[in-house]
Structures are given as C-alpha cells and as structure tokens.
C-alpha cells in the first residue's frame, strides 16, 4: 500500500520590523509675497504625513511631508499664517524578504521650534517620530492529510485569515466656493481643517467602490478685519482596482486627509471666490477567511517515519474596529479670555497596549484656540490632555491591533465664568487579529525498507489515563491509532476530562 500525502497552502504571518525612526526637520524659509511681515510668532505646529509606504525585498521605504504651520501677528495687529511642506524620506532594513507586506506607519511631532530671523524669514527646527511595523504574509505548503503504510497524523482545523491585499491610493477633490452675501470678502486664510468619513464600501470582482464625504472648515480674516469661520462638505466616490479580490472577501477601508487647502481665486479683485482642494488617502486592507488544516505530529505503526516541521504564526481576523468615542474636557480659559474666534482639536500622539485581554489606547489630545480678552489682539492657546479608550479583544490568543486615530468633530460651550466644556469625537479605525502559534508539518519521510523496531505485540491492553491526557499520546505509546481507542471505548473526543481506565487495542 502506498503513502498518500495531501497538502494545503497555509498563510503564515511574519513580523519583519517594529521600530521608531527619528526624522529631523530643518529649514530656512521666506514668507510668500502675499503674507504680511512678522511682528510676533504665536505658535508653530508640525504634522508628519506619509505619501508613500512601501516594503520590497528586505527594505522599507517611507516618503512624506512634514506640514509646518506658523501662526504670527503682523505689525498691524493682524493674525496671519504661513504654511510650509518639508519633504522627508526614510529607509529601514527588514529582518527578511517581504513577498506580501503589510505596512503600518504613524507619524507624530516630537518637537518643533521656530524663530524669526527677520520680518520675512523663518528658521524652523524640529523632529518627527515615525513609528512603523512591517508584517509579511508568506504562503507555505503544509501537510493536511496522509494515509497508507500505517501512517497516523495528528491534525486540527483552525479558522484563519489571509490578508489578500493592502494598498493606499491617493484621491484629489476640488471645488470652487462663492461666499454668501452675508459674508465679508476674504483678505487672508488663517486656518484650514478637514476630515473624511467613509459611508459605504462595496467589494466586486477586482474592484472596491468607496463612497464618503469630506468636511472642510476654515477660518479667514475678512476685508474689514473681522475673523469668520465657514464649513462645507464635498462628496467622495471612487472605484479602486484590487487584483485578486472578489465578493467573498472582506474589505476594511478608511479615508484620511493628506492635505487641505483653501485659496483665493486667481481672478484679479475677486475676493469672494475660493478654490477648495483636498488630497485624500484611501487605505484598503482585504481579507479572505479560510480553514487551515494543520498537522503537527505523525508516526507510522509499521515503518520508521520522520517529518519536517516549522512553527508558524496564523492570523484570524477578530474584528474590524470602526468606532467613535466622545471625550469631554473642562478647560479653564487663561488671562480672562472672554471671546473665542476658533477652536479645534487634534490627536497629538497615541500608543496601544494590552490590558486584561483588551486593547487600551492611551493618547494625548491637543485642544487649541484663538481667543482674546475684550478688544485686544487674538492670541493662541492650547492644552494637552491625556485620554484612554478600551477596545475589547475577544479570545485569549495574542492580539495584534494597530489602529489609526483622528478627530471626527469638536464643539464647545461656556460652562461658567472663565471656563469651557470641550467635546471631542475621536474616531478609531483598524483591524484586530488573533495570532496563534501553530506547529506545521511541511513534509513526511517514510522508509518502507525499515520495519519499526519498537512495535507493541498485538492484543488488547488496559491503560489508566489521567485527566487531560491526550489520546494521541496514548496511541503513539502503544503504537496504535486514536480511532481504534475511540471505537473500543465509545468515546467522541481525543482528550479526557477525568481519570479513567481505557481499553487499548493493538492490531
């Protein structure tokens, strides 16, 4: 009788990199011609944004911009803004070859300083921390079945998930806006904020269709010197090519804002028309669930047998996390500020740790505002506050959860003299996986010319089995099969809940 061995592709998760990379930022810049001179710098902020994340062969390549915004006051007392895009690139070596990489990257501002060298020249120095993780999905042919020549195979079925595709596509939106008659004409744009929301995601054969909405809000100074805010929404509709994807796949998608700009139209003396432009990133991660037949041990009751094994990490998609939580903060206004022109929030930093089988997100939220006291000049104020959010992770296996966080909305109201109640909606998006370590048999060798030397004589034996003992271990010890023991003792499972006497047939 011949030996028949069946194999199945199993998709193994490997971690090729987990690191924090430091990116220095140094630039000497001039104000654009349309900006007023600098009298006093109020605040300098920096946000690292990735434009490219690619792992190939044994190297990770990152590209992006550090978006530096400088708020300052002009000699005439006006609030002004300068914005600069400082490009960066970074590489890191991987621990192995990336054949189907899964890249996660998070950029945070470590620090940024700005000084006015002259009334129109700025010296900017800072650093960004780039937190990166690179996984790889490697296909391995593993033994899933075997029969003949007395071979016994220990196997189990594990629900598993294959990451079929991860991609990030850039999208562009633009619109021309005419201010309503009730609004003053635009002298200068002071702040621009934007958020993109995914409303629907559909998977077709080789395609992913996204539908969403982008909300842009901005602060501007009117021709009369008064600062005003406006908000508008832009629809998002995009079809993205996704090779190897079909309607049996699950796609986790999210939208992020790479850059938002509001500018006056080029037409001369037209201060009521604005050009709105957005650059968005559409992030896709496509999964396919499958049943992994995992064989971990084997022996033959007739011949000498050996196997080649390896320890593999298998992923199972636990949940797709897309949730928004509300954070409230009571904020004391400084210096008797009694008027707020604009208030906004941003997630300054965050990390994830496992606690009591849950994912605990610990972060810092920056609450920033422009305000003044009486008829004085506008000043910039900010407060960093800590926040925590717990995400339940079902199952006791090792969890992998690397989410993205953004502010989805904010509002405030005066809660008493000299204080505010700020409400901030923080959106959490990401995929949570269970990760289990599983031995896999990749190949079996059996020599039909070598009879097994340690064969037990044929007969029916009585064995005392302890609670929790596996029938596989008993069968191997007696050189018989688990099926024989199950049948002889009228058992349904391969492990024992309590100590008992067993009949062990050896044929």
* pLDDT value for 327: 94
Residue 264 shares a structural domain with residue 154: yes
Does 464 fall in a domain? Answer: yes
Residue 169 shares a structural domain with residue 231: yes
- Distance, in Å, from the CA atom of 297 to the CA atom of 293, rounded to the nearest integer, reads 13
Residue 173 shares a structural domain with residue 272: yes
Does 289 fall in a domain? Answer: yes
Residue 159 shares a structural domain with residue 297: yes
- Per-residue pLDDT band at 362 (split at 50, 70, 90): very high
pLDDT at 394 over 90: no
Residue 94 lies in domain: 13-136
Mean pLDDT within 169-175: 95
- Distance, in Å, from the CA atom of 33 to the CA atom of 38, rounded to the nearest integer, reads 12
Contacts of 330 (CB under 8 A, 6+ apart): 415, 419, 420, 421, 422
- On whether the pTM is more than 0.85, the answer is yes
- Is 303 in contact with 283 (CB distance < 8 Å)? no
* pLDDT value for 397: 66
Average pLDDT, the chain: 92
Residue 67 shares a structural domain with residue 161: no
Does 70 fall in a domain? Answer: yes
Q: Residues of the chain with pLDDT > 90: what percent?
A: 79
- Is 480 in contact with 452 (CB distance < 8 Å)? no
For 482, the 3-state DSSP assignment is helix
pLDDT at 419 over 90: no
Mean pLDDT within 226-249: 93
- Per-residue pLDDT band at 454 (split at 50, 70, 90): low
Mean pLDDT within 176-190: 91
* pLDDT value for 136: 96
* pLDDT value for 278: 97
- Per-residue pLDDT band at 134 (split at 50, 70, 90): very high
- Per-residue pLDDT band at 337 (split at 50, 70, 90): confident
Contacts of 232 (CB under 8 A, 6+ apart): 175, 177, 215, 216, 276
Whose tokens are 């605990």? That residue is: 360
Number of domains in the chain: 4
Residue 507's CB is within 10 A of a number of other CB atoms, namely 9
> Residue 13: which of 99, 125, 104, 120 has the closest Cα?
99
Q: Residues of the chain with pLDDT > 70: what percent?
A: 98
**Domain closes at, from 271, 301, 331:** 301
**Domain closes at, from 237, 271, 301:** 301
* pLDDT value for 458: 87
Does 198 fall in a domain? Answer: yes
* pLDDT value for 314: 95
Residue 342 shares a structural domain with residue 268: no
- Per-residue pLDDT band at 416 (split at 50, 70, 90): confident
- Is 304 in contact with 2 (CB distance < 8 Å)? no
């Amino acid at each position: 009788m011949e030996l028949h061995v069946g194999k199945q592709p199993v998709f193994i998760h490997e971690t090729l990199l987990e690191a924090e990379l430091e990116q220095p930022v140094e630039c000497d810049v001039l104000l654009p011609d349309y900006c007023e001179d600098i009298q006093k710098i109020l605040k300098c902020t920096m946000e690292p944004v990735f434009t490219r994340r690619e792992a190939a062969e044994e190297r990770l390549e990152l590209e992006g911009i550090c978006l530096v915004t400088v708020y300052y006051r002009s000699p005439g007392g006006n609030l002004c803004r300068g914005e600069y895009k400082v490009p960066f690139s970074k590489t890191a070596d991987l621990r192995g070859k990336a054949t189907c990489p899964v890249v996660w990257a998070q950029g945070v501002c470590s620090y940024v300083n700005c000084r006015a060298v002259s009334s129109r020249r700025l010296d900017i120095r800072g650093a960004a921390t780039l937190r990166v993780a690179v996984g790889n999905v490697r296909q391995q042919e593993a033994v899933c079945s075997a029969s003949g020549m007395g071979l016994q195979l220990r196997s189990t079925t594990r629900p598993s998930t294959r990451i079929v595709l991860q991609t990030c596509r850039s999208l562009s939106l633009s619109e021309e806006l005419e201010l309503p008659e009730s609004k003053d004409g635009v002298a200068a744009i002071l702040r621009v904020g934007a958020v993109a929301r995914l409303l629907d995601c559909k998977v077709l054969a080789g395609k992913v269709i996204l539908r969403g909405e982008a909300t842009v809000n901005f602060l501007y100074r009117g021709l009369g010197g008064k600062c005003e805010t406006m908000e508008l929404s832009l629809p998002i509709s995009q079809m993205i090519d996704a090779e190897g994807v079909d309607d049996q796949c699950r796609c986790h998608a999210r939208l992020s804002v790479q850059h938002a700009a509001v500018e006056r139209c080029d037409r001369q003396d037209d201060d009521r028309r604005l050009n709105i432009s957005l650059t968005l990133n559409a992030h896709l991660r496509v999964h396919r669930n499958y049943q992994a037949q995992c064989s971990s041990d084997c022996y033959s009751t007739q011949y000498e047998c050996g196997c080649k094994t390896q320890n593999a990490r298998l992923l199972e998609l636990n949940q797709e996390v897309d949730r928004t939580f509300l954070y409230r903060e009571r904020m004391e206004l400084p210096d008797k500020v009694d008027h707020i022109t604009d208030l906004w929030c941003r997630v300054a930093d965050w990390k994830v740790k496992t606690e009591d089988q849950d994912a605990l997100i610990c972060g810092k939220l920056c609450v920033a505002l422009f305000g003044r006291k009486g008829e004085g000049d506008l000043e910039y104020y900010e407060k960093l506050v800590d926040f925590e959010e717990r995400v339940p992770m079902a199952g006791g296996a090792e969890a992998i959860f690397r989410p993205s966080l953004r502010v989805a909305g904010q509002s405030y109201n005066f809660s008493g003299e000299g204080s505010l109640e700020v409400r901030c909606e923080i959106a959490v998006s990401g995929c949570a996986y269970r990760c289990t370590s599983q031995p896999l048999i990749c190949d079996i060798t059996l020599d039909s010319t070598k009879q097994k030397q340690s064969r037990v004589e044929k007969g029916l034996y009585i064995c005392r089995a302890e609670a929790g003992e596996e029938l596989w271990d008993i069968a191997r010890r007696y050189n018989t099969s688990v099926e024989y023991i199950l049948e002889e003792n009228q058992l349904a499972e391969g492990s024992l809940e309590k100590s008992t006497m067993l009949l062990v047939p050896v044929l």
